[in-house]
Structure 1
Amino acid sequence: MTYIVLARKYRPRSFSEMVGQEHVVQALGNALTQQRLHHAYLFTGTRGVGKTTVSRILAKSLNCTGVDGQSGITASPCGVCEVCRAIDAGRFVDYIELDAASNRGVDEISQLLDQAVYKPVVGRFKVYMIDEVHMLTTTAFNAMLKTLEEPPEYLKFVLATTDPQKVPVTVLSRCLQFNLRPMAPQTIQEHLAMVLTQEAVPFEVGALRLMARAARGSMRDALSLTDQAIAYAGGSLQEAVVRNMLGAVDRSHVVRIVEALVRGDGAALVQIADQLRALGLSAAGTLEELALLAQHMAVQQAVPGALDPNDPQTEAIVALAAQLAADETQLLYSVSLHGRNELSLAPDEYSGLVMVLLRLLAFRPESGAAKPAPAPTPTPVPVPSPVVTTPVRAEPVEAPRPATATPASSAPALRQAQGERIAVPSPAAAATTTTTAPSSGSSIPPWEELPEEYAAAPVQEAPVRMAPVVQAGPVVPAALASTDAVTSGADQERWIAVARSLIARGAVTAMTRELVMQAGCVRIDAQASPPCWVLQVERETLRQNGYRDRLLSAMQASPEVGELGLQIQVGAVSDSVAKRDAADRARKQVEAEQTIQADPLVQNLLARFPQSRIVPGSIRAL
């Protein structure tokens, strides 16, 4: 007797046998039960999810006569009447399947539609099933539009496609569309277990899990892989044999990769890549398995206990998730995912794999890598009377008003002797600031006074309506503050001058430039040999050794610095190049807004049109 492949032998014969498509089965079952039948159906989805199978079951439901020959339209075809057996055998005269991939022209469609005027020969309905309908030509689609919109009452259209985007919208609008989803690996695994049990083939659960993942949502692919595995393994499906057949990478290899990343061991990563090359395992498969492991680790970190307890690898995943930080797990997933696309560009896939693994090691945050022994901290040099600025909020100091007031001079400012730094207080801070009201004899017009967002006692007569100015610079949480505060003394001013020089000359770029922008100087130990500069940043990621080394090289090459030592610590920073630039931009923005507010033409327009206002954000400082 001729052997029937599993994909054909176990093709569902009724809606009750369908797996993984409950949403389609429920909709069609209710429609058939209530006799609310559409004249055209469109089934979409990837290969092997049941589009043709559903169309055949639908044709049987429409034409089934039952065991006694008296049954009508039903959602549960009997499967034993002549009509059901003929449709299953592919010889029912009123059920016509057309492959649009090989019959895509207007002539074939016209010939099919010419037969639509004739009533069914045997069944109640004549069913036209057009597979891969997106392959039809434009003229063929146009030829069937009229019949598809108003077919005879005995004619039903069933269209199937894997690419619905190529189907004209004029066809989509005439059909009832159902999207058959890719099946979950767990659903495929359970169905394969049922099939192999009926076939009396012994199997291991791990082997079924591998084939379910390799099928990528297609039940037909899973059954075809099962046929191949039975032949390859000689009748017994063992996990090791199926893994060898699929060329899948053993989870133990990627577990060793993650363990090497935790240790920061680059030599071990290169050794693992060489072993994968010697075993002939796919580099792309390794990165795919690594991304899957990272995904499971991220789930365990976010929702402890959410992994499948029956999976024998769950214990190892839980152990790895406890050793790697959540942000490092996300980095592992992202680099593994994007690294697969770069393998085709590499000289060979294994050199590409090595670079991806080394990239994971290079991009790891300093907090997760193996840290070297800390350098001895030099003895701090006392700084006479340092001015310490609180990292949370600086109280605004009212600037002295010149004899002739101008809009620019009336802006709120905090001016200091070093660098003319200006900080704009936030609305919350301004609410607690005491402001001296102008005297009645003041020559300052009322519109030059501060709006409500900048002063505690605003002048009510000011007609200008402006959006509040957001405080420049982030507020540093108190938990970040270290014992050493960034000073505003001579050491800080020297660091600011050096930082601006490095940025202007282009000596630092990328993340090193960001380090220079965000850092403040705690102290400069001139007594040490060489002099030791102690900088402070708020972000832990800027403390990586690579950024520090590049900054040290740039500073040593600078003529105004020379030989030095460099330490970078984490803590609140109240003064830096970035904060000064932000304060300067805020000052210029306030001055620009004050200039617009004081303009006579603007005041005249606002007075003439009471409902008018200055659009927030429309003023830009030049």
Structure 2
Amino acid sequence: MSHVVLARKYRPRSFAQMVGQAHVVQALGNALSSGRLHHAYLFTGTRGIGKTTVSRILAKSLNCTGPDGTGGVTAAPCGVCQACTEIDADRYIDYIELDAASNRSIDEIRELIERAAYKPSVGRYKVFMIDEAHQLTKDAFNALLKTLEEPPEYLKFVLATTDPEKMLPTVLSRCLQFNLRPMAPETVAAHLQQVLAAEGVAADAGAIRLLSRAARGSMRDALSLTDQAIAFGAGSLAEDGVRAMLGTVDRSHAAALVQALAGRDGPAVLATVDALRGMGLSAAGTLEEMAGLLQQMAVEQAVPGALDDADPDAAGARALAAQLPPDETQLLYSIVVHGRVELSLLSDEYAALTMVLLRLLAFPPAGPAPVPAGAPRAAPLVAAPREARSTAPARPSAAALPAVPAAPPPRPAPATPPVLQAPAGPAVAPRPAAPPPAPAAARAPAPAPRRLTAEEPPPWAEEAVPDDDGAQGASDAVLPPDEPVADAPVMARPVPAAAAAVEPVAPLVTTPLGDRWAALVRPLAAAGNLVAMVRELAWQAELLAVTPVDSGGHRWQLRVERESLRNPSLAAKLAAALTEALGEPAQVEVVAGVAQDAITRRDNHARETAQRAAEQLIQADPEVRALMAQFRTARLVPGSVKPLAADGGGPQSNPKASPP
């Protein structure tokens, strides 16, 4: 007898044999038991998790007749009747599987729809299963929609796809959707143990654990890898052999890298990477193993004792979790996960791996960093003790400043900014000269720096805040003309000026011809007779003359500045609109020139006039004037004042003022 691969030999034949999809099994089992059957089912999920298997079990449940041939629709097919055995052997005439990856055109779907017109030959239901349904063309989907929505009573549709996002929404709305989930490594490992026990193959727990992780949630991939591992190990599964076959990096290498990074040991990181290069281990596999280790460390740090004691890797993860702070664990996990994408950007993946790992060392550690011997130490930026702050002398006011000593001999100095002159009358206190720096030996030792605790207020919380009058007086203290300028310039507080008067709008000179032209074309535009560029021509033009024509009608001479509007076709369309409106022939002549009395200029003048009126009304408002007097640096933003419509009762009083 020929060998049958494990993925086919141990394919589930009933819902009871399904692994890891309890939510789908329960829903379908209850529907079959109660007779609440849908006409179309959609199974979604990644590869190898049981979409086709569920479809075949559903077909057997719909057509099972039982061992005695008298059974009906059931959630537990017998597996021995004609329908069950032939569906398992893939030769049941009323169960049709269509692979949309290679049969995706509308012709295959039309042939499938033609088959739907005939009743089942031997079974109770005819089941059409379309695998990888997302690869059907749009025309094929559209051809299937009507039959998919209202199939005959004897027809059931089953669609399977790994990418439901590519399915048409109209198809998704017609199907009962089930999402098959990837299986956990523990679930895969438990099933592999049963399969290997049935096959009589000796296997290490570590080998099964490696296979279950490499399957990435796919049971079919797990069984295929197990077949390969049995062949690689000559009938047995050992952890070393499976690791060599998969190219998986040993957890000890990942632990060594994490420990070196936790200790900020750059040479150890480089040595470990060189060792990985020498052994030919995958850089991507190294980052993947580190991600798994860091995930366990983060779980242990967040919930101590949550790791499974049966996992042999749990002890090492607990030990490392105590060496790396939780925030650095999260940071290193993010670096490792995102770093896998960067490995392909360099021809040397180990050089890329080195850069990814050294990225953590670029961040400062959570605690104080060690300072090399002999290196100069910078003064820490910490607050002075509270006692020193409380005993410090208060800053003298401008009136209490001492007199200035005799001026030193003149010395060349850089150009100084202009000095503000004090107004006549008020006394101005001179600025004291800066004392010379004290010798190093005479300087008092600085108090020992200390860090603030959460209970202490910040140093600036106890400083006196000057009132407005004091601040104004200090800012008004300026130097006389002959006073030498110190290092820092004296800044005077800006005094807000009074609200400036609103500039009037320049007058617009109108003409009787302009009034006549506006009265003529505005109703035409409102009625929709002038649109697009023809309306633009009428709005930008100035009427120069209206002269009678011997053949009848009048000639309308317009002046337009824009060259694009002086188009003969636009003039002809405007003449046709005027002819229809006036009831007589009209000719339009367009000449070049700047239009003085155009509808556009009139509209702009009206809008600007309303805007100026709104701004003037806001500036004259008593509440606004009171606010501007209270906040001396407040300003009105002209663009925020918007006039209301003509029927709104006046301009809109909702200005925005800049903060003081």
For normalisation by structure 1, the TM-score amounts to: 0.64
Which residue in the other structure is 1:193 paired with? Answer: 193
Letter of the aligned partner of 1:237 in structure 2?
Answer: L
Contact kept, 8 Å, 1:98 with 1:130, in 2: the verdict is yes
Partner of 1:329: 329
1:361, distance to aligned residue in structure 2 (A):
1.9
Matched to 1:574, the amino acid is P
Q: 1:603 to 1:344 in 2, by over 3 A?
A: same
Return closer, same or farther for 1:98/1:572 CA change in 2, 3 Å cut-off.
same
After the TM superposition, list the runs of 4 or more consecutive aligned residues in structure 1 that deviate by more than 2 angstroms.
368-378, 383-390, 415-418, 524-540, 571-576, 598-606, 617-622
Deviations 1:7-57 (A, max 9, x none): 000000000000011110000000000000000000000000100000000
| C-alpha separation in 2, matches of 1:384 and 1:162 | 66
Q: Residues 619 and 625 of structure 2 are in contact (CA less than 8 Å); yes or no, is this contact kept in structure 1? A: no
SS state at 2:236 partner: coil
Paired residue for 2:120? 120
Question: Is 1:527 aligned to residue 412 of structure 2?
Answer: no
Partner SS for 2:91 = coil
Displacement after TM superposition at 1:347 (Å): 4.0
Aligned to 2:503: none
**What does residue range 67-106 of structure 1 map to in structure 2 within 5 Å?**
67-106=67-106
Change (3 A) 1:107 1:271: same
Distance 2:341 2:214 in 1: 19
Q: Which runs of 5+ in 2 are unaligned?
A: 398-436, 466-470, 472-494, 500-617, 627-652
Change (3 A) 1:73 1:575: same
Q: Say whether 1:213 aligns with 2:221.
A: no
Counterpart in 1 of 2:291? 291
Residue 574 (1) aligns with residue 487 (2): no
Q: How does 1:549-588 map to 2 (within 5 A)?
A: 574=459
Q: What is the identity, as a one-letter code, of the residue corresponding to 1:27?
A: A
Tell me the equivalent position of 1:502.
none
Which residue type is aligned with residue 308 of structure 2?
A: D
Aligned identity (percent) is 60
SS of the residue corresponding to residue 65 of structure 1 reads coil
Cα displacement (A) at 1:369: 5.7
CA contact (8 A) 1:324 1:368 kept: no
Q: In 2, are the aligned partners of 1:62 and 1:74 still within 8 Å (CA)?
A: yes
Q: Superposition pairs for residues 153-552 of structure 1, below 5 Å?
A: 153-367=153-367, 372=372, 388=389, 527=440
**Contact 1:536 1:572 survives alignment (8 Å):** no
Q: Output the CA distance in 2 between the equivalents of 1:171 and 1:82.
A: 33
- Encode CA deviations 1:171-206: one digit per residue, 9 max, x unaligned: 001000000011111110111011001101011111
Give the superposition deviation at 1:346.
Answer: 2.6
From the superposition, tell whether residues 361 and 602 of structure 1 become closer, same or farther in structure 2 (CA, over 3 Å). Answer: farther
Q: Distance in 1 between matches of 2:279 and 2:80?
A: 53
Whether the aligned pair in 2 keeps the contact of 1:525 and 1:533 (CA below 8 Å) is no
Whether the 8 Å CA contact 1:298–1:329 is kept in 2: the answer is yes
Deviation, structure 1 residue 228: 0.3
Structure 2 match to 1:445: none
**Letter aligned with residue 621 of structure 2:** L
Amino acid of the structure 1 residue aligned with 2:51: K
SS of corresponding position for 1:103 = coil
Deviation at 1:384, TM superposition (A): 14
Per-residue Cα deviation, 1:121-140 (whole angstroms, up to 9, x for no partner): 00110000000111111111
| Aligned-pair CA distance for 1:601 | 3.0
Letter of the 1:601 counterpart: D
TM-superposed deviation, 1:377: 9.8
Letter in 2 for 1:149: E
Q: Secondary structure at the match of 2:459?
A: coil
Instruction: Say whether the 8 Å CA contact 2:385–2:450 is kept in structure 1.
Output: no
Counterpart of 1:128 in 2: which secondary structure? strand
One-letter amino acid of the counterpart of residue 213, structure 2: R
CA distance in 2: counterparts of 1:120 and 1:254, whole angstroms: 59
Mapped to 1, the partners of 2:457 and 2:22 lie a distance apart of: 57
State how far apart, in whole Å, the 2-side matches of 1:328 and 1:131 are.
Answer: 45
Write the deviation string for residues 286-323 of structure 1: whole angstroms up to 9, x where unpaired.
11111111111010011000001011121111111111
What is the 5 A alignment of 1:137-152? 137-152=137-152
Contact 1:97 1:129 (8 Å CA) reproduced: yes
Answer yes or no: is the 8 Å Cα contact 2:325–2:366 preserved in 1. no
Q: Aligned partners of 2:152, 2:251: CA distance in 1, in Å?
A: 58
In structure 1, the residue matched to 2:43 is 43
Distance in 1 of aligned mates of 2:66 and 2:439: 100
1:129-144 mapped onto 2 (5 Å cutoff):
129-144=129-144
| Paired position in structure 2 for 1:479 | none
User: CA 1:315–1:192 in structure 2 vs 1: closer, same or farther (change >3 Å)?
Assistant: same
Task: Say which is worse superposed, 322-331 or 6-15, in terms of deviation.
Answer: 322-331
Segments of structure 1 that go 5 or more residues without pairing to the other structure are 391-414, 419-523, 541-570, 585-590, 607-613
Taking the aligned partners of 2:386 and 2:148, their CA distance within structure 1 comes to 89
Secondary structure of 1:323's partner? coil
Counterpart residue identity of residue 335, structure 1: I
* 2:623 aligned with 1:603: yes
Q: 1:574, CA displacement in angstroms?
A: 3.3
Distance 1:78 1:128 in 2: 21
Cα distance in structure 2, aligned partners of 1:203 and 1:68: 42
Relative distance call for 1:538 and 1:163 in structure 2 (3 A) is farther
Change (3 A) 1:377 1:227: closer
CA 1:115/1:385 → structure 2, altered by over 3 Å: closer, same or farther?
closer
Distance in 2 of aligned mates of 1:239 and 1:385: 64
Moved more, 525-534 or 311-320: 525-534
Amino acid at match of 2:342: E
Matched, 1:621 2:622: no
Q: What is the TM-score when the length of structure 2 is the normalising length?
A: 0.61
Q: Residue deviations 1:135-193, cap 9 Å, x none? A: 11111101011111100000000000001111100100100000001111111011101
Is the partner of 1:3 in helix, strand or coil?
A: coil
Structure 2 CA distance for aligned equivalents of residues 341 and 63 of structure 1: 49
Structure 1 295/106 Cα, relative in aligned 2: closer, same or farther at 3 Å?
Answer: same
Q: Which moved more, 1:347-356 or 1:34-43?
A: 347-356
Residue 527 of structure 1: CA displacement? 3.1
1:300 touches 1:321 (CA, 8 Å); kept in 2?
A: yes
CA distance in 2 between counterparts of 1:539 and 1:219 reads 58
SS at match of 2:359: helix
Q: In the alignment, is the contact (CA less than 8 A) between 1:126 and 1:156 conserved in 2?
A: yes
What one-letter code is carried by the residue in structure 1 that aligns with 2:181? Answer: R
The Cα RMSD (Å) is 3.9
Going from structure 1 to structure 2, the CA distance change for 1:529 and 1:389 (only over 3 Å counts) comes to: closer
The Cα shift of 1:211 comes to: 0.9
CA apart distance, 1:531: 13
Equivalent position SS for 2:32? helix
CA, structure 1 residues 57+368, in 2 after alignment: closer, same or farther (shift >3 Å)? farther
Aligned-partner Cα distance in 2 for 1:119–1:42: 23
Give how far 1:537 is off. Answer: 10
Deviation of 1:236 after TM superposition, in Å, equals: 1.3
Partner of 2:8: 8
State the one-letter code of the partner of 1:388.
R
Structure 1 distance, partners of 2:232, 2:264, is 40
Determine the C-alpha separation between the residues in 2 that align with 1:282 and 1:529: 65
Q: Is the 8 A contact 1:389 1:574 kept in 2?
A: no
Shift of the 25–386 alpha-carbon distance from structure 1 to 2, 3 Å rule, reads: closer
State the alpha-carbon separation in 2 of the partners of residues 603 and 191 from structure 1.
80
Distance 1:528 1:159, change over 3 A: farther
Q: How much does 1:354 deviate?
A: 1.0
Partner residue, 1:401: none
1:109 aligns to 2:109 (yes or no): yes
- Looking at structure 1, the residues matched to 269 and 446 of structure 2 have their Cα atoms a distance apart, in angstroms, of 36
Shift of 1:343: 1.1
Task: Return the letter of the residue paired with 1:12.
Answer: P
Query: SS at 1:96's partner residue?
Result: strand
**Aligned equivalents of 1:529, 1:309: Cα separation in 2:** 66
Q: Contact (CA 8 Å) 2:67, 2:81: kept in 1 or not? A: yes
Q: Comparing both chains, which one has the higher relative contact order based on Cα–Cα distances under 8 Å and sequence gaps of 6 or more?
A: 1
